[in-house]
Amino acid sequence: MLSIRGRLLMLAVGAVVPLSLVALAALWEVWGTRHQQLNEAMEQQAELAAGVLEHWLDTQQQPLLTVAALAGGHAPGDAFLLNHLRFVMAPRPHWIDIRIVNASGVSMMLDPVHAEAFPPGLAEKLLGEIHGVAVETDWTRGEGQYVLAMAVPVAAGGAVIARVDGKALQELFRPLQLPDRALITLLDSQRRIIYRSQSPEAFLGTGVNGSALLDALGGGRTAVTVVKSPLDDVERVYGVARVGATDYIMTVGVPSATLYGPARRQLSRLVGFGLLALLCAVTAALHISRGIARPLDRLSLAARAFGEGNLAARAPIEGPPRLAHLGATFNAMAEHIEEREKRLNELDRLKSEFVSNASHELRTPLTTIKALTRLLLRGGLDEAKQREYLETIAVECDRQIDLVLNLLDLSRIEAGAFELTLGRVDAAEVLLSCLKSQSRAAEFRNHQLAIMQGSGPLSIRADQKALRRVIGNLVENAIKYTPDGGHITLAARRAGNEVEISVTDNGRGIPPEDIPILFDKFHRGRPAPVAADGALAAALPELEEVPGVGLGLYLARNVIEQMGGRISVESEVGRGSTFTLRLPVWGKEEGQQSLREEGRDVKTIAGS
C-alpha cells in the first residue's frame, strides 16, 4: 500500500515523464529537420563557391577559345595570330604565358616570346585529357607556388594553352567574408590544396588524399560530412562539391559548434525546462504530501494516544481546510469523551461514597436502637426514661425507614418503575404534617420551625405521600445544614396557576458552584467556605458530621417534575437557603375527571 507521498510522487512523475517524452520526441524530430536543413545549406554553399570558380575558369578560357578558333585559319607564326596572343595577354596580369602547341605538345607560337619551357609532361597531360577545356596544376615552380595551366583544343590538332599564376585564385576568393573559423578549400585533381581561406599560404600544396571529405564525396557531385581537420583540429561540417567539368573539388566548412550550436542550445534549453518541470512537479508533490501527510500523521498519533487512554491528547488544527476540520471534529469528540469520562469517574466516586454513607446511615441508628433496647431490657428504668428511650428508638426507626424508602425510590426511578398517584392535595395540610413530624428533630437542635401561610385555598395536583416525603426531606436538610438555634420557615402561597411551597433556613448556604449540580444523584456538598469574620466556620458542623447519602434532592427533583412541577433553590453562603416547589393548582376539570377516575391517575418516572 503506497503512502500519500508515494502516490503524489507517482502522480507527478507519471504526469511529467510521458509529457517530457512526447516533448523530447517532438524536439528530436525538429532537430532532425533542422539538421538536414543545415546540411543542405552547407551543400548549397559548396556548390555556390564551386560555381564562382567555374565562372572564373570560364572567363579565363573564353579568350583561349577565340585564339583556338583563329589558329585554325592562320599558319603558326602568322603576325596577326601573334598580335592576338599579345592582345590576349596584355590585360591579364596573372597570366604567365600563352602558347599554341601542336598535337605532339611542341610549342608553335607563344607570348611572351621568351617564355620558359613547359615542365615535362604538362603539355602531354593537357592534350591527353582535353575534350572541351582542361585545367591542370603545375607545382614545379617550387614549394607553395603553383600555376594553373588551362587548355582548349585547336580544330586542326594541338591546343591553345595559357598558364595563370595561382595568386589569381587567392585574389578571387579573398573578398569573400566568412564567419569565424569557417573555411573554403579548393583541391586540384591531385588532391592538393590550391586555396584555403584560413592561412592561405601556409597550407598551399598540402596533399589531402585519403581525407574523409573525399570519401564522403565518392563519385557524387556534392556531399556533406563532419570532419575534424587535422590541420587546425577544428571539427567542421563540410559541404563538398565538384567544380563544373574539372576534377577540382570545392569544400565549404563551418565549425559544427557554430552551425549546430544555436539549435543544440535551444534543444538543451527545452530539455532543461523539461527537467525543471519534473523537479517542480516532484517538489510540489512533496510539498503537498507534507501538507497532507504531516497533519494526518499527527492526527493519527493523537487518535492512537487517545485510544491508549491519554484523554488529553488532541489533534493539531492544521493543513488543508478539510483536514483542519477533521482535526477540529476529532478534538470536539475527544473533548466530549473526556467530559463524559470525567462525569463517569465522578459518578463512580459518588457511588462509592454513597455506598459508604448508606452503610453508615444504616448502622448508626441500628447501633442506637440496639443500645437502647438493651437498656430497656435490663429494666430498672423509671417511666420517663423508658418513654424517652422508646421515642428515640421510634425516631431512629423512622430515619431507617426514610433511608430505605429513599433507596427503594432510587431503584424504582432507575428501573423506570416509580409510580405516583396524582390527586387533589391541600398544600397547607401537607406543610402542617411535615412541621409536626420534624418538630422533635428541630427542637433537638434548638431551631425555630414555623409555617407562614397565604390566604385562600391551596389545593394542588400532586401525590400526597410523595409530596410529604419531598417536603420532609427539605425540612430535614434545613435542620441538618443550619447551625443550632436557627430559623426554619415553611410557606405556601398561590402564584398564578401554581402554588409555591418554600422551605427557608438561615443555615450555612450553598456555594454558587454547587448550585448547577445540587440536584444530581449522590451529590453531597463540601463544607462552605469560611466567612470573612470566621464566625461561620465556628458555627458550622464539619461535613463528615452531617449524616446523609446525597439522594434527597435528586429524588425531590424527579418526583416534583413528575408531578408537573418544578423545584429551585436560592442560597447565599453563610446566610441560608430557600428551596421552592412550584406545583399546578387543582383545576375544575381535573376535579370532575378525578371524581370519575379517582385514584387511578398513575404516573411512572423514567430512570435517569
Q: Residues interacting with ligand ADP, by CB under 6 A? A: 473, 477-478, 481, 505, 507-510, 518, 523-525, 548-554, 577
Q: Closest approach of Cβ 395 to ligand ADP, in Å?
A: 17
Q: What are phi and psi of 95, to 5 degrees?
A: -75, 130
Look at the block and give the residue holding cell 391541600.
426
Give CA–CA dist 125/460, Å, rounded: 153
List CB contacts of 197: < 8 A, sequence separation 6 or more. 173, 176, 178, 182, 183, 184, 185
Q: Closer to ligand ADP at the Cβ: 114 or 526?
A: 526
Q: Closer to ligand ADP at the Cβ: 245 or 452?
A: 452
Q: Closer to ligand ADP at the Cβ: 127 or 449?
A: 449
Q: Closer to ligand ADP at the Cβ: 222 or 357?
A: 357
C-alpha cell at 10: 507517482
Which stretch of DSSP H or E encloses residue 148?
strand 147-153
Q: Closest approach of Cβ 353 to ligand ADP, in Å?
A: 10
Q: Closer to ligand ADP at the Cβ: 136 or 476?
A: 476
Q: Closer to ligand ADP at the Cβ: 163 or 447?
A: 447
Q: Closest approach of Cβ 527 to ligand ADP, in Å?
A: 9
Q: Closest approach of Cβ 551 to ligand ADP, in Å?
A: 6
Residue 112: cis peptide before it, omega within 30 degrees of 0: yes
List CB contacts of 495: < 8 A, sequence separation 6 or more. 582
Q: What are phi and psi of 135, to 5 degrees?
A: -130, 135
Give CA–CA dist 297/549, Å, rounded: 48
Q: Closest approach of Cβ 364 to ligand ADP, in Å?
A: 13
Determine the number of helices (DSSP H) and then strands (DSSP E) in the chain. 13, 19
Q: Closest approach of Cβ 542 to ligand ADP, in Å?
A: 12
Q: What is the dihedral of CA 78, 79, 80, 84, to 10 degrees?
A: 100
State the pairing for strand pair 602-605/418-421: antiparallel
Single out the residue of 457, 454, 471, 459 nearest to residue 423, CA to CA.
459
Q: Closer to ligand ADP at the Cβ: 211 or 558?
A: 558
Instruction: Please state the separation of Cα 34 from the chain's center in Å.
Output: 42
Nearest residue to ligand ADP by CB is 525
Q: Closest approach of Cβ 553 to ligand ADP, in Å?
A: 4
Q: Closer to ligand ADP at the Cβ: 328 or 535?
A: 535
Q: Closer to ligand ADP at the Cβ: 34 or 524?
A: 524
Q: Closest approach of Cβ 564 to ligand ADP, in Å?
A: 22
Q: Closest approach of Cβ 488 to ligand ADP, in Å?
A: 9
Q: Closer to ligand ADP at the Cβ: 110 or 549?
A: 549
Q: Closer to ligand ADP at the Cβ: 54 or 396?
A: 396
Q: Closer to ligand ADP at the Cβ: 279 or 451?
A: 451
Look at the block and give the residue holding cell 418516572.
605
Give CA–CA dist 169/291, Å, rounded: 75
Contacts from 328-332 at CB under 8 Å and sequence distance 24+? 330/299, 330/302, 330/303
Q: Which residues pair with 137 in a beta bridge?
A: 148
426: exposed, middle or buried (Cβ count in 10 Å: 0-12, 13-18, 19+): middle
Q: Closest approach of Cβ 505 to ligand ADP, in Å?
A: 5
DSSP state of 67: H
Q: Are 606 and 420 in contact, with CB atoms under 8 Å apart?
A: no
Q: What are phi and psi of 534, to 5 degrees?
A: 75, -10
Single out the residue of 113, 114, 100 nearest to residue 63, CA to CA.
100
Give CA–CA dist 185/205, Å, rounded: 12
Q: Closest approach of Cβ 414 to ligand ADP, in Å?
A: 16
Question: What helix, strand, coil percent values describe the chain, rounded to 5?
Answer: 50, 20, 30
Single out the residue of 443, 475, 484 nearest to residue 553, CA to CA.
475
201: exposed, middle or buried (Cβ count in 10 Å: 0-12, 13-18, 19+): exposed
Which stretch of DSSP H or E encloses residue 548?
none
Residue 532: how many other CB atoms lie within 10 Å: 8
Q: Closest approach of Cβ 458 to ligand ADP, in Å?
A: 23
Q: Closest approach of Cβ 420 to ligand ADP, in Å?
A: 19
Q: Closer to ligand ADP at the Cβ: 42 or 549?
A: 549
Q: Closer to ligand ADP at the Cβ: 181 or 523?
A: 523
Q: Closest approach of Cβ 537 to ligand ADP, in Å?
A: 15
Instruction: Please state the separation of Cα 36 from the chain's center in Å.
Output: 47
Please give the angle made by the CA atoms of 207, 211 and 213, to the nearest 5 degrees: 115
Q: Closest approach of Cβ 380 to ligand ADP, in Å?
A: 38
Give CA–CA dist 25/20, Å, rounded: 9
Q: Closer to ligand ADP at the Cβ: 65 or 515?
A: 515
